[in-house]
Structure 1
Amino acid sequence: MTEDTDPILEDESLNHDSNEEESEGLYEHLSIKVDKGQELLRIDKFLHIFRQNSSRNKISQTCRAGNVVVNGNPVKQNYRVKPGDDISVLLTHPPRENVIIPQDIPINIVYEDDDVLVVDKEAGMVVHPGHGNYDGTLVNALAFHLQKNGHQSDLDRVGLVHRIDKDTSGLLVVAKTEYALSFLAKQFFDRTTKRLYWGFVWGNVTEDEGTIRGNIGRHLKNRMQMAVFPDGSLGKHAVTHYKVVERLRYITWVECKLETGRTHQIRAHFKHIGHTLFNDERYEGNQILKGVNMPKYKQFIKNVFDVLPRHALHAHTLGFTHPTTKKEMYFESPMPKDMDDALEKWRRYLES
């Protein structure tokens, strides 16, 4: 047999503050061409042998979620692999960098049932433990929540389906079972979830709506940034759709829908078109990029930075199909206070 693995997104070494568009490192796509001499074998056993780090139960749940496809058709775990089969598998990989220590950290859980949990994350919270962030994360808080509510056995099965940056606020869905994780991962992989981001960017975005296209990959000089390679020579295909919500002369409030899910996609794409995210320190948005070079204006910008001490990006909506009921679930998170305060300051400034 031969294998071609395709990790969904880039590696997450950008200061380990989690990836903007969620699923990096959380699942991977396997393409397997079965050898001509392969004996007939149940596919759950075949994949268990092929991927020794995946349990039979995990593979069974992956099949149940429709994430094992043979010759173009989803199959059950008792399907018998034949010579020449083309197998496609979407496997989930919940982060396991550290032993998860439950910590009593307040989090805003907006919905919960036996399968999923939806959190409205505050800016400043890292999503999961990693190098430099060994505790105090959303995963630590979730572990405490489950333990407190008598779900000790669920701790090792909590699965992040997607992630957002430390300094991005907004909605995340968390799977509480292996099946839910596989089922939701397929929706993120297929881009069938419904998600919109709100952001403030420097400058007046002249078009009412538009699309930004350009491969995204690691910046060639500044390895802490992602860069856009519009000629396709490097990076991975990336598409961002946007609409203008409000113009505030020197900044623009935009609504973004991501067609793809690359690391720092919104941040890199808008910097590429000359509209860096407001107060985005990593992408030099924490300096005055538009406006008048006058003391009063400089003081105003400082005041806005003080009330919004992070990049202006918020995961505003989240919609998905529930793994068990198959009903459409939809959630909205209001504008967080720091972004709302900054918005009001801009409006008052323009009126003065």
Structure 2
Amino acid sequence: MLTHLSDTQTEFNLQVEENGVRLDRYLTQELPDLSRSRIQQLIEQGQLQLNGKVCTSKKINVKAGDRITLQIPSAEPLKLQAEDIPLDILYEDDSLLILNKPAGLVVHPAPGHPDGTLVNALLAHCPNLPGIGGVQRPGIVHRLDKDTTGAIAIAKTELAHQHLQAQLKAKTARREYLGIVYGATKTESGTIELPIGRHPQDRKKMAIVPVEQGGRNAVTHWRILERLGNYTLMHFQLETGRTHQIRVHSAQINHPIVGDPIYSSNRSIGVNLPGQALHAWRLQLQHPLSGELIEVTAPPPQTFTTLLEVLRRRAAISS
């Protein structure tokens, strides 16, 4: 295998030695630094030639003697501006950065939020980040909603990005949340396994949507940490990572997250909250280079702890 590097692109040249392997699977085996999804993306973009001709089918079976050329174009120049936004760093080395995200901070640029995002802050903190994981989302492996606080992991190299994404897909990374919900559940723990998709009428919302109608499997494990009268402090563990997953699942079992402006009645509880009382409390993952288990706990914000104290006092008075 010859790998040619230039200023504009990386090119891999391979010759197949066995029959009957699907093209994308073969390349995943031969090029372990590239994820299968990335390889499929490159094939669909016309970046692969099979025996001198462009091939856009990832499912074709290769044969012994086939010649494959795969080109990886250089990363698009990033047009986002670096912004000096303070970051609460929980862990950092040359491969990985884990932050405690505050409420109100959007993770990456989107319509209505062109700047002032976590990505803009990261570009100021990590000058080498552009191009890792995509133009608009450099280094972002998973996301948190704007008003959800807590631990979020950022990849600082392409290898780390692929490794962390693979952990999330294989469900070996552990993501634990604290949430305060309305009401009191009858049981002490449970699992919500309901598919989530875009709401059929309101495109800004997610909803429980059957898989056959476009929903994606979603699994949330929960257990009670503390009963607070008409409220409950819950521990959530994600098995999947769908958009708004905990918020949608909690609302579906009639225990929406307190302060959620979309999925609950958002009734006043006498405490000024910036958004939903949901906090990404603990993140556990394997270091992409050393293989060491990294576990980081993010202290909840003051608004979360204040809400807990208020609810504890109310529960004590009413008991």
State the TM-score, normalizing by the size of structure 1.
0.68
How many residue pairs get aligned? The number is 265
Which of 283, 296, 300 is equivalent to 2:263?
Answer: 283
Aligned-partner SS, 1:156:
coil
The residue aligned with 2:194 is 214
- Sort the Cα spacing of 1:155 and 1:236 in 2 relative to 1 into closer, same or farther, 3 A: closer
- Sort the Cα spacing of 1:119 and 1:82 in 2 relative to 1 into closer, same or farther, 3 A: farther
Q: 1:312 touches 1:339 (CA, 8 Å); kept in 2? A: yes
The residue aligned with 2:179 is 199
Which of 25, 29, 43 is equivalent to 1:50?
Answer: 43
Pairing 1:145–2:125 present: yes
Pairing 1:82–2:63 present: yes
User: Displacement of 1:222 after TM fit?
Assistant: 2.8
The 2-side partners of 1:81 and 1:182 are apart by 25
RMSD: 3.3
Q: 2:196 touches 2:218 (CA, 8 Å); kept in 1? A: yes
Pairing 1:133–2:113 present: yes
The 2-side partners of 1:327 and 1:121 are apart by 24
- In the alignment, structure 1 segments of 5+ residues that lack a partner are 1-31, 56-69, 71-79, 86-90, 147-151, 289-300
1:178-193 superposed matches below 5 A: 178-193=158-173
The residue aligned with 1:339 is 304
Does 216-225 or 254-263 show the bigger shift? 216-225
Q: 1:277 touches 1:285 (CA, 8 Å); kept in 2? A: no
> Can you list the C-alpha shifts for 1:254-288, whole angstroms capped at 9, x where unaligned?
10111122111111111111111111011134126
Amino acid paired to 1:339: F
The 2-side partners of 1:285 and 1:53 are apart by 49
State the TM-score, normalizing by the size of structure 2.
0.74
- In the alignment, structure 2 segments of 5+ residues that lack a partner are 1-20, 49-58, 67-71, 133-137
> Can you list the C-alpha shifts for 1:61-99, whole angstroms capped at 9, x where unaligned?
xxxxxxxxx9xxxxxxxxx9537x9xxxxx9xx9x8962
Amino acid paired to 2:286: T
The 2-side partners of 1:209 and 1:236 are apart by 23
The 2-side partners of 1:194 and 1:231 are apart by 25
The residue aligned with 1:155 is 130
**Bigger RCO (CA 8 Å, 6+ sep):** 1
- Sort the Cα spacing of 1:53 and 1:265 in 2 relative to 1 into closer, same or farther, 3 A: farther
Pairing 1:310–2:270 present: no
The residue aligned with 1:176 is 156
Q: 1:203 touches 1:251 (CA, 8 Å); kept in 2? A: yes
The residue aligned with 1:328 is 293
Identity over aligned residues, as a percent?
Answer: 40
User: Displacement of 1:111 after TM fit?
Assistant: 1.2
